[in-house]
Structure 1
Amino acid sequence: MWKNNLSLPHNGSPDDNFSMRLILPHLRGTTTSSYFDSVPSFACGFFCAGPAASCDAYIFSIFFVYAFSMEDVLHLQSPQVVWSANRDRPVRENATVQLTGLGDLVLYDADGTMVWSTNTANKFVVGMNLTEYGNLVLLDHTNAEVWRSFDHPTDSLVIGQMLQVGQKLMASSSEANWATGKVYLTVLPDGMYAFAGVDTPLPYYRSPVYGSVLTNFSAYIALKNGSLEVFTSFRVTEVPDYRIQLPIDYYGLEFVRLDWNGHLRLYQWENNSWVSSDVLDITDPCSYPLACGEYSVCSDGQCSCPDAVLRQSGLFELIDSRELNRGCFLTNSLSCGTAQNARFLSLPNTTHFNIIYNWTTNEEHCKLSCFNDCSCKAAFFLHTDTSSGFCFLASDIFSMISVDAQSYSKNLSSYAFVKVQEHKAGLSKERIAILLVKIDQQMDLIDPRSTDMKLHLDEVFRMMNLAMWCLQVDSNQRPFMSMVVKTLEGSMDVETELDLDLVNIDLMVANRAARWNEATLQIESVLSGPR
């Protein structure tokens, strides 16, 4: 049994942005004292993506890791996970992995809950091994393989691994969320395909077709050192029907991963770091289903929220203003119970990465069908003439694509109608806080779970009242800084005769946001000007 704690070999720096505990290392070069004499190798164990000091969401996984020893201290760097058992159910500190007496490899969370199993009980398993190729295998007494991780891929293929009919590489939900997402790569009897969507999967890539859809159930793809090969027709033994050439690596330090946005990327170890490049021959960056994340519009590789495209605001927000390709989210989420408050945001000259138009109808009927369907998040309509066209209802929302209006004739245009929730004016958090003070209900502002606040209520109330004093509309009624300091020290009482009809806090917050946006838009010449 292996327990997920510091008793296992682990990375020692609390400043690392990951936490790793090794169970079966297959490492090379860990006895050297030189930083540059080691190259990444495979290992399996517990891995957590996040600050090492606070990580507590681990996956049992196989990973490349750059390991080296320096002054008898093991250093682990540059990990890349290539397989995981429990990506949708992370475990905590002190979780365990156990090879039971019945031959089942089982992952238990810290509270004893079973999270994952190989389901190999009573199959005469007597041992476990991690091969030099990154394949975790369970063996019987004759050394025959009973179970292997290569047969249960997640989002990656390593050299020597195959993906067969019925198997999928499932991308993660996002760059920060490793749970199973909506994009996958698979092999069908007639070739390799990449799909996006859960309810209605739509292909955004397929390799050249050679096999027979009706008869070929032995098709597969294989990653080799220097190529990704697709086998479908088997007209010539050991000769692929389609080959994507890749760089050859002397150590075999490369793998392909289907990333969260739909890109299939080759990862290679170069100059002591991992570098990646696209594998699929998709030339238009906007053609990937999550090129700009969910709800975002892609135009020549640039990403914008739908309301920003129309020079509006308030309906959507960026998930991360520093990384625009992470996508957008609705400021007022949709729900079936409030469908009567929904409306459509109309985006002209906007389409989808791939559309299977459901039927021919008119624009209004297309929109009405989406409005009456709780699962529909957007309707896409392609005009064929002034009165009719093709309609597609999307229940999975991906990136949208802005197309050149010049590419359409006068009577052939594309629209996206995105369902949004009508905004209802409400009270801001700041306004609610002030109202609670005005009606003498400050206790409602205190976290009931905070023992520390409950033990120091007098100080908490003093801080609240001091804040009200500092927010007086009449600046002459506000305290000097010296008075604030004395109040905090307890040598002076807070003024009790306060005017609680304060400045419009909502306007103040809006102005603050506007000033922030203005500040973030300063051009380089302004920022580098004289001080």
Structure 2
Amino acid sequence: MGSSQTSIPPKTISFFTVLFLFLSTSSAQNVLLRGSYLSVEDDSDILTSPEKTFSCGFYGMGQNAYWFSIWFTNSKDRTVVWMANRDRPANGRGSRVSLRRGGAMVLTDVDGSIIWETNTTSTDVERAELLDTGNLVLIGPGSKILWQSFDFPTDTLLPNQLFIKRTKLIARLHSGSYASGYFSFFFDNDNVLRLIYDGPDISSIYWPSPDFDVFGNGRTNYNSSRTAVYDEMGHFISSDQLQFSASDTGLLRIERRLTIDHDGNLRLYSLKNDTGLWVISWQALSQLCNVHGICGINSICAYTPDPECSCPPGYEITEPGNWNKGCKPMFNQTLSQSQQVKFVQLPHVDYWGFDLNFSASTTLDSCMELCLGDYRCKAFSYSLDGGGRCFTKGVLFNGYRSPSFPGNIYLRLPVSFETSQLRILNGTDPICQSSESETTIGSPSMYSINTKRTRWVYFYSFASAIGFIELLFIVSGWWFLFRNRGLPNLMEDGYHAVLSPFRRFTYTELKKATNNFKEELGRGGSGAVYKGILTDERVVAVKRLENMYQGEDVFWAEVSTIGKINHMNLVRMWGFCSEGKHRLLVYEYMEYQSLDKHLFSPTFLQWKDRFKAALGIAKGLAYLHHECLEWVIHCDVKPGNILLDSGFEPKIADFGLAKLSQRGGNSSDFSQIRGTKGYMAPEWATNLPVTAKVDVYSYGVVILEIVKGIPLSNWVIEGREEHESDLARFGRVVKRKIQCGEVSWIEEIVDPRLNGKFSRNQATTIVELGISCVEEDRNKRPTMDAVVQALLECQDVDGRCS
């Protein structure tokens, strides 16, 4: 055997030589053998996974910056999911990635310096291989994995990639850079998955909501294994009981990625194979202004309707075009106690956190003195919500403006800083518009007079805060002890009915809850509503949808998004049912029924309740248009869809479903199912694209009916040669009266059943707003944000408008 030799034909030798050379090259294969390399100068020098889902090689951006990366082969923009050298790009000439004979994979620059290398030194490493999962692995004998890219994620998690204690997702710095940014997704020390802004000077956790504790957010910190993962179907599960699913879950062969984006939001994406584009199938936050640090220090985030950053009065952007660095003061920020100061009011603006003091049930003047007595105080927040809540601020961070916020920020500025210098950047408008927004604190001697008073304010505030905290502990302990006796069983399921009320119901459950759909509450174009009682004794309204043709995955995407929407002027959705042909929605029950039953009946509403309805409806729509997902447009605002609670606070029902049921369809189909005649905007008839202005039009009709006390939504007036609607005639008459300077025009318009008991200023404001809302040209209609602002200025007891 040792002496005998078998001759090999020359052709066979040539074949094996070619085969060896083919296996040795990295082009169009998923293996890089030991001793081989990938060159930055050869575009074909890449590894491709067996099913060609992922590619690995040098990824370039700009003129001469390259990263050793893994990306989705079939996505339109070659979306990167992993980078070895994200913070130190390689040169476009001479750089290479080598699998050295010593066992390490090494990235070297043009000068031979090492940019990045794996922590493997075993000579057992045989090859590098790109798997169909998107995982780059170094393989040893027996297919043992000695190193893998899955252990070192950048900003993206792939299906079946384990996320554990020592891993972290870090967002890109901004859209034009792959460098590490300030937002991270990680397991915190208390075993809970969180999102954090970790900037150069400030760190702030913003998800899950810092306003609630761990259990209040539906999580647990009892499991210290700190593991999370999601599967190919888009089901995510974590040891802290965070669970969610992609909106398109159940559909096969969809590529997905979980990415923390440069704006700080964590999103699950699904790839559309026909277009190569990504669609969002889940996201952690529906309102981007809740992301801490999104606009940088001192700045304010507002919806216009998309989130935009701006600087408050007295501040200017630190670096134009870069909101990461926020705003800087245009004055010396160290205000001494001998210096005169003034406070500039920013309506409906707040800065979350960084409180120096908190005081409840206090006055505006007392809150102001708290800030004056502390040199660290840069502003104070004051809200009548809860009877006068005062927060003094040492740092102005996480600023946001919202029409639904019931308070204001009062900025502390030097008197010497001229009002004419106060300016707002980037188009948003929480700006001081008159001297009424400023409060000037007098002469230097005033501080010495008020020193003792300020100390007493500190003392009482401190005592009140301690008492309040003790009361919270007692109440929380009692609630936890007696309310949650059944908690262990619920925790085993990963849900708590009270903490996370939105859920999927079975058809059998809802059939039993409604006693076989016995008591009908009402009926509309999309179906009938029935009264029901759930097993936890909650009284609910169950809507049985008709003519719903979309699949279960689309229906789930729509209702799961709406289920997360929560506002005091929107009817809360508790859950849904989707089984076979059955599509049902479960809402909170409102015993005072709809606005039309009170407005157009002998038991008419008094003026204060009418104004409350106009303001509440506006706040709810402003939330949907400006603070929620951009496609949540109601499309059927009318008195029949406005429900009243026991305090006659209005709540909008059926929001978003009409539009959502056709989302992604042809625009020509919209007008076939949308809205109610008389409340529909003119653009429905001309088949223009749907915008939030269709809701503004409908709202205008509603508030004019609130003032008039009769329906104005009749389609046409019978018997007229020219078909003119009641609404058009009403608007024409009112405009003529105003133009002619008639003094008593508003008294002629307001519902006579009120016998003159109404606020003339409030009624005038509502009518003028209503007329502007029903303009035929939608570009002339105001936004709901502006409507809320105008009504809030007339909210005081006697209805005076500022």
Instruction: Give the aligned residue type for 1:280.
Output: Q
Change (3 A) 1:63 1:341: farther
Match of 2:234 in 1: 227
Q: Would you say the 8 A contact 1:292–1:298 is kept in 2?
A: no
Kindly state the Cα deviation for residue 388 of structure 1 after the two structures are TM-superposed: 8.8
Instruction: Give CA deviations for 1:39-87 in whole Å, capped at 9, x if unaligned.
Output: xx1011111234xxx3x111211110229xxxxxxxxx53000111111
Q: 1:66 aligns with which of 59, 70, 74?
A: 74
Instruction: Give CA deviations for 1:140-173 in whole Å, capped at 9, x if unaligned.
Output: 2232111111111111111111211342211111
Structure 1 SS opposite 2:252: coil
Structure 2 SS opposite 1:142: helix
Change (3 A) 1:332 1:134: same
Q: Does 2:79 correspond to 1:80?
A: yes
**Structure 1 unaligned regions, length at least 5:** 10-21, 30-40, 68-76, 234-239, 321-325, 373-377, 426-522, 526-531
Match of 2:42 in 1: 7
Instruction: Give the aligned residue type for 1:78.
Output: D
**Structure 2 unaligned regions, length at least 5:** 1-35, 360-366, 422-777, 781-802
Kindly state the Cα deviation for residue 258 of structure 1 after the two structures are TM-superposed: 0.8
Question: Hey, what's the Cα distance between the residues in 2 that align with 1:259 and 1:348?
Answer: 31
Question: Hey, what's the Cα distance between the residues in 2 that align with 1:269 and 1:291?
Answer: 26
Match of 2:65 in 1: 57
Match of 1:401 in 2: 400
Q: 2:269 aligns with which of 267, 270, 274?
A: 267
Instruction: Spell out the pairing of 1:151-162 with structure 2 (5 A cutoff).
Output: 151-162=151-162
Q: Would you say the 8 A contact 1:285–1:301 is kept in 2?
A: no
Q: Would you say the 8 A contact 1:97–1:107 is kept in 2?
A: yes
Question: Hey, what's the Cα distance between the residues in 2 that align with 1:6 and 1:389?
Answer: 62
Change (3 A) 1:391 1:315: same
Match of 1:200 in 2: 203
Structure 2 SS opposite 1:282: coil
Question: Hey, what's the Cα distance between the residues in 1 that align with 2:123 and 2:218?
Answer: 39
Instruction: Spell out the pairing of 1:404-423 with structure 2 (5 A cutoff).
Output: 404=403, 407-408=406-407, 413-415=408-410
The structure that has the greater radius of gyration is 2
Instruction: Give the aligned residue type for 2:40.
Output: N
Question: Hey, what's the Cα distance between the residues in 1 that align with 2:196 and 2:61?
Answer: 26
Kindly state the Cα deviation for residue 390 of structure 1 after the two structures are TM-superposed: 2.7
Q: Does 2:194 correspond to 1:171?
A: no
Match of 1:127 in 2: 127
Structure 1 SS opposite 2:74: strand
Instruction: Give CA deviations for 1:368-409 in whole Å, capped at 9, x if unaligned.
Output: 97869xxxxx766456899993344448x55x211337713x
Instruction: Give the aligned residue type for 1:6.
Output: E
Instruction: Give the aligned residue type for 1:221.
Output: A
The percentage of counterpart residues that share the same residue type is: 21
Structure 1 SS opposite 2:41: coil
Question: Hey, what's the Cα distance between the residues in 2 that align with 1:316 and 1:105?
Answer: 44
RMSD value, Cα:
4.3
Structure 1 SS opposite 2:208: strand
Could you say which structure has the higher helix fraction? 2
Change (3 A) 1:5 1:289: same
Match of 1:257 in 2: 259
Structure 1 SS opposite 2:78: strand
Match of 2:107 in 1: 107
Change (3 A) 1:82 1:252: same
Change (3 A) 1:331 1:277: closer
Could you say which structure has the higher strand fraction? 1
Kindly state the Cα deviation for residue 216 of structure 1 after the two structures are TM-superposed: 2.4
Q: Would you say the 8 A contact 2:225–2:239 is kept in 1?
A: yes
Instruction: Give CA deviations for 1:470-527 in whole Å, capped at 9, x if unaligned.
Output: xxxxxxxxxxxxxxxxxxxxxxxxxxxxxxxxxxxxxxxxxxxxxxxxxxxxx999xx
TM-score (norm 1): 0.56
Question: Hey, what's the Cα distance between the residues in 2 that align with 1:42 and 1:263?
Answer: 24
Question: Hey, what's the Cα distance between the residues in 1 that align with 2:235 and 2:373?
Answer: 45
Kindly state the Cα deviation for residue 245 of structure 1 after the two structures are TM-superposed: 3.8
Match of 1:46 in 2: 58
Q: Would you say the 8 A contact 2:266–2:284 is kept in 1?
A: no
Change (3 A) 1:250 1:278: closer
Change (3 A) 1:258 1:144: same
Question: Hey, what's the Cα distance between the residues in 2 that align with 1:4 and 1:161?
Answer: 28
Kindly state the Cα deviation for residue 316 of structure 1 after the two structures are TM-superposed: 3.1
Structure 2 SS opposite 1:247: coil
Q: Would you say the 8 A contact 1:297–1:304 is kept in 2?
A: yes
Instruction: Give the aligned residue type for 1:232.
Output: S
Instruction: Give the aligned residue type for 2:258.
Output: V
Change (3 A) 1:82 1:406: closer
Instruction: Spell out the pairing of 1:45-444 with structure 2 (5 A cutoff).
Output: 45-50=57-62, 54=63, 56-66=64-74, 78-93=77-92, 94-122=94-122, 124-188=124-188, 190-198=191-199, 199-205=202-208, 213=221, 216-232=223-239, 242-248=243-249, 249-270=251-272, 271-277=274-280, 279-280=282-283, 282-289=285-292, 295-299=299-303, 301-307=305-311, 315-316=316-317, 319=320, 327=323, 347-352=346-351, 354-355=352-353, 357-360=355-358, 381-382=381-382, 389-394=390-395, 400-404=399-403, 407-408=406-407, 413-415=408-410
Question: Hey, what's the Cα distance between the residues in 1 that align with 2:413 and 2:259?
Answer: 31
Change (3 A) 1:263 1:5: same
Change (3 A) 1:388 1:250: closer
Change (3 A) 1:151 1:359: farther
Change (3 A) 1:98 1:368: farther
Match of 1:502 in 2: none
Question: Hey, what's the Cα distance between the residues in 2 that align with 1:380 and 1:318?
Answer: 26
Kindly state the Cα deviation for residue 333 of structure 1 after the two structures are TM-superposed: 8.8
Question: Hey, what's the Cα distance between the residues in 1 that align with 2:84 and 2:333?
Answer: 39
Structure 2 SS opposite 1:390: strand
Q: Would you say the 8 A contact 2:288–2:307 is kept in 1?
A: no
Change (3 A) 1:406 1:8: closer
Kindly state the Cα deviation for residue 119 of structure 1 after the two structures are TM-superposed: 1.5
Question: Hey, what's the Cα distance between the residues in 2 that align with 1:106 and 1:268?
Answer: 33
